[in-house]
Amino acid sequence: MTPTAPPTEGLLTFIDASPSPFHAVEETARLLGAAGFTRVDGADGPQPGDSRGFLTRGGALVAWAGGHGRPDSPLRVMGAHTDSPNLRIKPRPDTGRVGYRQLGVEIYGGALLNSWLDRDLGLSGRVAVRGGDGAELRLVRVDRPLLRVPQLAIHLDREIDQRGLQLNKQTHLSPVWGLGTPTDGEFRSFLADELGVAPDEVLAWDVMTHDLAPSAVVGVDRDLISAPRLDNLCSCWAGAQALLAAASAETATTAVLVLFDHEEVGSTSERGAGGPLLRSTLERLVSSRGGTPADLHRALAGSLCASADMAHAVHPNYVERYEPDHHVALNGGPVIKHNANQRYATDAEGAAAFRLACERARVPVQEYVNRTDLACGSTIGPLTAASLGMPTVDVGVAQLAMHSARELAGADDPPRLAAALGAFATGG
């Protein structure tokens, strides 16, 4: 009998539709809009009567639902981030040598550099073009195999087996995209052709590479997911599903979904977790419901936040890299992540709330702690907890190959996280 895949097709579709943070936001907006959410202008924010709505800012989104219109309704915040490590195109990218045309790239975030070698790469992001009253931002996506970073042949690097692959970010990662002599302005002209404008109308861009291989359910039993950007589009998708479920439940709590950008580079930006986006949106949401600053403080006093980001499953080839008493398994259920030094924001109150949500959703739950003698990564959780002053729990789906151009997770776990977040968003 041929094994059947669990219900993850929606996640795979979401990932493949979201090669950049800007596309991830638009795909989330499409899902919310189809469910009756109102898109509001970011300058105006939530308006009276907007029982379910959302606003966007570049690669970030904030959405809300429920609360029966009460300004002091307790909040159940679900946070994630839209960005992933990749190669981003420089402002003057036209380069090359010895008969090759290449693009200059800057490494975004903590990418596993070797994973970008010998792959067919497309381009995606947004472009600022000249408009009638200034600049207009347009999405761009090119799914043709335009770029490739070829690895040096082993015949010319015989020591690689002894010392390992060593890559210089400046000199070894520039992708090839043609033969001949590089021409200044070629990339600008390429973008102009893709957008149907003149080259001098292209003013600036936020463009990055993406892996062209589609997401897939894999493994002999079809119980694994192979996909790019699981960190952290998996959490974005699960959060969106949870918000849709909460909107249908019409509970007394206000469910809030926030998808930040720039988590992979520290979150310090106007649309990152270190910026004012979430707090200012919550202030305006309370105001639109006739509330005062005191109502916001009352709402925050009864609120909880679940910061959803991917977790480290134990790797069978590197078991020694993991805390021996906290091994996390693929398809073992959502993971609660702990760190005493606040790299994760989980405390007893937040962990208990999420564990109870998993019980209500009837999904298993796991717990992760980093090896004490290894540095621990972080998430939006500590920043959000510090900004809003609410108990926070860091959770996520277990995966392997985090920050690779291609990552691996269990196929059962994303729907389980969505169910757990849904229970968290509607719980008391």
pLDDT tens figures, 274-323: 999 999 999 999 999 999 999 999 999 999 999 999 999 999 999 999 99
Interstrand relation of 134-147 and 121-131 (parallel, antiparallel or unpaired): antiparallel
Give residue 6's pLDDT.
53
253-265: b (≥16 Cβ within 10 Å) or e: bbbbbbbbbbbbe
Indicate the range of 20-24, 64-68, 121-125, 311-315 predicted with least confidence: 64-68
Domain 9-84+228-426 classification at class level: alpha beta
Averaged over 10-32, what is the pLDDT? 98
Contact 176, 148 (CB under 8 A): yes
Looking at residue 4, what is its pLDDT? Answer: 45
Q: Tell how far CA 90 is from the center of its chain.
A: 22
**Superfamily the domain 86-211 falls into:** Aminopeptidase i, Domain 2 (2.30.250.10)
Per-residue pLDDT, averaged over 343-366, amounts to 96
For residue 413, CA distances in Å to 6, 308, 338 come to: 10, 13, 19
Q: Model confidence at 116, in pLDDT bands (50, 70, 90)?
A: very high
Helix axes 381-388, 277-288, angle to 10 degrees: 40
pLDDT at 2 over 60: no
Question: What CA–CA distance (Å, rounded) separates 188 from 129?
Answer: 11
Query: Of 5-14, 144-153, 289-298, where does mean pLDDT reach its minimum?
Result: 5-14
Distance CA 285, CA 306 (A): 19
Mean pLDDT along residues 30-55: 89
**Average pLDDT over the chain, rounded to whole?**
94
DSSP type of residue 377: -
Structure tokens at 361: 């959703």
Q: Evaluate whether 366 touches 336 at the Cβ level (below 8 Å).
A: yes
Residue 262 pLDDT level (bands cut at 50, 70, 90): very high
Write the single-letter amino acid at 136: E
pLDDT category of residue 1 using cuts at 50, 70 and 90: very low
- The pairing of beta strand 311-312 with beta strand 398-400: parallel
Residue found under tokens 């206000």: 254
CA-to-CA distance for 329 and 87, rounded, in angstroms? 30
Residue 177 in this model has a pLDDT that exceeds 90:
yes
E strands present in 12-95: 38-39, 52-57, 60-66, 75-81, 86-95
* pLDDT at position 193: 98
Q: How many Å apart are CA 301 and CA 155, to the nearest integer?
A: 64
DSSP string covering 249-302, please? HT-SSEEEEEEES-GGGTS-STTSTTSSHHHHHHHHHHHHTT--HHHHHHHHHT
Average confidence (pLDDT) over 148-167:
92
Average pLDDT score over residue span 32-53 = 87
Find the mean pLDDT for residues 13-32: 98
Residue bearing the bigger pLDDT, 48 or 361: 361
For residue 150, is pLDDT > 90? yes
* Strand order across the 398-400 sheet: 216-218, 224-227, 407-410, 398-400, 311-312
For residue 60, the cross-strand partners are 57
pLDDT of 131 higher than 90? no
User: What local confidence, expressed as pLDDT, does residue 428 receive?
Assistant: 55
> At a CB cut-off of 8 Å and minimum separation 6, what does 427 contact?
76, 253, 353, 356, 357, 360
Give the total residue count for the chain. 428
Q: Which of helix, strand or coil describes residue 161?
A: helix
Q: Which helix (H) or strand (E) holds 110?
A: none
Average pLDDT over residues 230-257: 94
Among 111, 113, 256, 89, smallest CA distance to 177 is for 89
Tell me the domain boundaries of the chain. Answer: 9-84+228-426, 86-211
Tally of CB atoms within 10 A around 413: 31
